[in-house]
Amino acid sequence: MIVATAGHVDHGKTSLVQQLTGIDTDRLTEEKARGLTIDLGFAYTEADGETLGFIDVPGHIRFIHNMLAGVSIVDMALLVIAADDGPMPQTIEHLAILDLLGINKVITVITKIDRVSEERIAAVQQEAQKILARTSLSRSTIVTASSETGEGIDAIKQQLVSASLVSTDRKENGYFRLAIDRSFNVKGSGTVVTGSVFAGATQVGEQLKLMPAGKTVRVRGLHRQNEQSQSTVAGDRCALNLSGHLSPEDIHRGDWVTNSPLPPTRRLDALISVPQDLQPITHGMPVHFHCAAMHRVGRIATLTDKRIESGCRGLVQVTLTEPLCVYPGDRLILRDQGAENTLAGGMVVDPFSPARGRARPSRIEWLNTLGGANGEALRTLLQKSPDGVNIEAIKRSMNCLPETLDSWIDDVRATVPCEVIGEQLVSIAQLEAWGSDLISALTNWHTDNSDASGQSASGVRDLMDAGIPRPVKDHVIGKLLKDDKLSNHGGRYAIAGQQAQLKSSDQALWKQIRLILSEDPLRPPVLTDLSKTVNNSPAVLAAFLKRCVQLGYVVQPTPNRYYLQVGLDRLVAIIHDLAKKEGGFTVREFRDNSGLGRNLCIELLEYFDGQGLTIRDGDKRRVARSA
């Protein structure tokens, strides 16, 4: 179990850890000289078979960013208050940070009781209870101790052992993630980084990434809980000996060692809480952003109201000046522009927020549901998301391994009828609703385009909502075709049974053309002659006849002639009669039997070749067996 100390400067945190472990965590010369903890100190001890790890964090206001790095992932905290001083400004701020980071196991230790009277100890206990009551930690235990006399130390250690027996929920099934808070070189070994393991597991020999730099590293050696080991898991404090093309300039405090495929980000959505009596969070406010050992500066955009009042919580988008790696569920702290006061804290919800703008209600609902980050959250998202759930977005936003997500999807499909289409998980009910919407839209389109035989595939897709992914649109169209609700003739999609017809304004022209074509069905006039007869330009008439072809009124077997079906049927009959002759028939024979000119016969026979009715073999043709 990892335990962090917190409290005002010079209230005895380091001395308390030394009493509990026998280790002095003030390791820097400057710390020794000045009598305060500047950087994180670490110590381990065994108690009743349990390993207790302590992170001694600084209390001075100038070093609060180091304190934030220390308490971002701990199982428990010791809030230290000196009996002679009582609660001080950093005591209150550290308490607020513990509360905002969701550290709900806290023991409040009143130290230096050897220096004051019993009445003073009682008064400080009452003051401590008052400040605890303003947080979610109001029921935390308050104990008294002296690092000088050792009074109360055994009782604290026993409480810690009891707390360590209660399992802590860790993301051991996620990607491995270690937040670097120190790095140094060891002669003969090379680069070593230390930090807290936020999720997953790794072992010696595994290949990982240093992020956000993206450099590949390999684990040469590993220490966990201050002992050499072959592996480490979520919740451990550990040191990794890394190999790779690294220099000291490549590694920074706040970097991650991970096997996660997620890229860095500069924009994220978060759910934050503003403690009582603190200033509201307003839209556009500049902030210092702290998460794990990372520190960035950026701006806040409120996603619902224009401000988040004291004592309230709300969704915000944080835009940062530099990229970082954060993950769903990571705890964060926001401090003011001068980095002097804590403003709010909370949790990363979506590390890959879309470009800033007023969030749609569907986006807010998505973010509210993402807070669950489990199979039940996926089920809720599926039921509420208008376009289904993008599986790749879920992988990013819930930071789960592929096999975990597959298991969630199986669980959801067991209770909610749905399908995986490409990268989209969509409920059957939603697919049916989209199908109904498409039928309605296409029906309206037919009303406005009664002379058109149907829509193209792209046109049908355009009738559907733009937010629906193309594979899903194609799936909906395919299902309607299979159910005989749509028809597809020559790439034109229409409502099944829909019969296109010319507009009333074009009916007179068609009657005139039909009469002309029927006068000699085998030899209709060429387009130019036809246009003169009906007193219309060839270009306009060609466009009109193209619509007639789509409607099935006429057929265009040659570039400049249009036939009624009766004319084509007579030509086909002539071909079948000629095909009875042994060895096939020639163009001349077709010409003699049809009475048409040689050039027109050649064009017509090439058309029938293309339609699969006839097959050319040298100078002769025969009817295809499948005709």
228 phi, psi to nearest 5 deg:
-65, 140
Whether residue 339 contacts residue 297, with contact meaning beta carbons closer than 8 Å, is answered with: no
- What the block records as the tokens of 166 is 């209660």
Residue 404: how many CB atoms within 10 A of its CB?
17
Whether residue 238 contacts residue 176, with contact meaning beta carbons closer than 8 Å, is answered with: no
Q: Which residue has the higher pLDDT, 225 or 305?
A: 305
Using pLDDT thresholds of 50, 70 and 90, give the confidence band for residue 39.
very low
Q: Which residue has the higher pLDDT, 507 or 489?
A: 507
Q: What is the mean pLDDT of residues 574-603?
A: 92
pLDDT value at 626 more than 80: no
Query: How many Å apart are CA 243 and CA 245, to the nearest integer?
Result: 7
Query: How many Å apart are CA 614 and CA 607, to the nearest integer?
Result: 9
Whether residue 587 contacts residue 554, with contact meaning beta carbons closer than 8 Å, is answered with: no
Q: What is the mean pLDDT of residues 479-496?
A: 88
Whether residue 616 contacts residue 604, with contact meaning beta carbons closer than 8 Å, is answered with: no
Q: What is the mean pLDDT of residues 482-504?
A: 83
Q: What is the mean pLDDT of residues 582-586?
A: 88
pLDDT value at 33 more than 70: no
Please give the angle made by the CA atoms of 290, 296 and 300, to the nearest 5 degrees. Answer: 85
The pTM of this model reads 0.66
Amino acid letter, 125: Q
Amino acid letter, 205: G
pLDDT value at 34 more than 50: no
Query: How many Å apart are CA 268 and CA 402, to the nearest integer?
Result: 22
Taking the alpha carbons at both ends of the chain, their separation in whole angstroms is 82
Q: Which residue has the higher pLDDT, 475 or 415?
A: 475
Distances (CA, A) of 480 to 291, 446, 449, 496, 579: 50, 17, 21, 9, 42
Using pLDDT thresholds of 50, 70 and 90, give the confidence band for residue 627.
very low
- What the block records as the tokens of 177 is 């993630």
Q: What is the mean pLDDT of residues 274-278?
A: 86
pLDDT for position 37: 41
Q: Which residue has the higher pLDDT, 385 or 526?
A: 526
pLDDT for position 437: 94
Q: Which residue has the higher pLDDT, 465 or 277?
A: 465
Q: What is the mean pLDDT of residues 594-602?
A: 94
Beta-carbon contacts of 599 under 8 Å, excluding residues fewer than 6 positions away, are none
pLDDT for position 113: 94
pLDDT value at 160 more than 90: no
pLDDT for position 455: 87
pLDDT for position 31: 40
Using pLDDT thresholds of 50, 70 and 90, give the confidence band for residue 463.
very high
Query: How many Å apart are CA 96 and CA 345, to the nearest integer?
Result: 9
pLDDT value at 98 more than 70: yes
Sheet of 76-82, strands arranged across: 41-47, 50-56, 2-7, 76-82, 106-111, 141-144
Query: Phi/psi zone of residue 114: left (φ > 0), alpha (ψ -120 to 50 degrees), beta?
Result: alpha
Least confident of 188-202, 287-301, 327-341, 354-368: 354-368
pLDDT for position 32: 46
Using pLDDT thresholds of 50, 70 and 90, give the confidence band for residue 557.
very high
DSSP letter (8 states) at residue 5: E
Using pLDDT thresholds of 50, 70 and 90, give the confidence band for residue 171.
low
User: What three-state secondary structure class fits 165?
Assistant: coil
| Mean confidence (pLDDT) of the chain | 85
Q: Which of 41-45, 323-327, 463-467, 603-607 has the highest mean pLDDT?
A: 603-607
Please choose, from the candidates 78, 72, 155, the residue with its C-alpha nearest in 3D space to the C-alpha of residue 109.
78
**DSSP-H helix ranges across 86-196:** 89-100, 118-133, 153-164
Q: What is the mean pLDDT of residues 426-445?
A: 92
Q: What is the mean pLDDT of residues 231-237?
A: 84
Whether residue 286 contacts residue 318, with contact meaning beta carbons closer than 8 Å, is answered with: no
Least confident of 17-31, 40-54, 563-577: 17-31
Q: Which residue has the higher pLDDT, 240 or 390?
A: 240
Least confident of 289-303, 379-393, 444-458: 379-393
Q: Which domains does the chain have, with CATH numbers?
A: 2-164 (3.40.50.300), 177-258 (2.40.30.10), 265-359 (2.40.30.10), 362-416 (no CATH), 429-495 (1.10.10.10), 506-623 (1.10.10.10)
Residue 601 half-sphere exposure toward CB, CA atoms < 13 A: 17
Q: Tell me: the pLDDT tens digits for 339-362?
A: 888 899 988 988 888 876 555 676
β strands within 485-525, DSSP E: 486-489, 492-495
pLDDT value at 572 more than 60: yes
Using pLDDT thresholds of 50, 70 and 90, give the confidence band for residue 72.
low
pLDDT for position 25: 61
pLDDT value at 529 more than 70: yes
pLDDT for position 246: 83
pLDDT for position 550: 77
pLDDT for position 350: 84
pLDDT for position 309: 93
Helix (H) or strand (E) holding 34: helix 29-34
Using pLDDT thresholds of 50, 70 and 90, give the confidence band for residue 599.
very high
The two counts, helices (H) then strands (E), for the chain are: 19, 32
pLDDT for position 454: 83
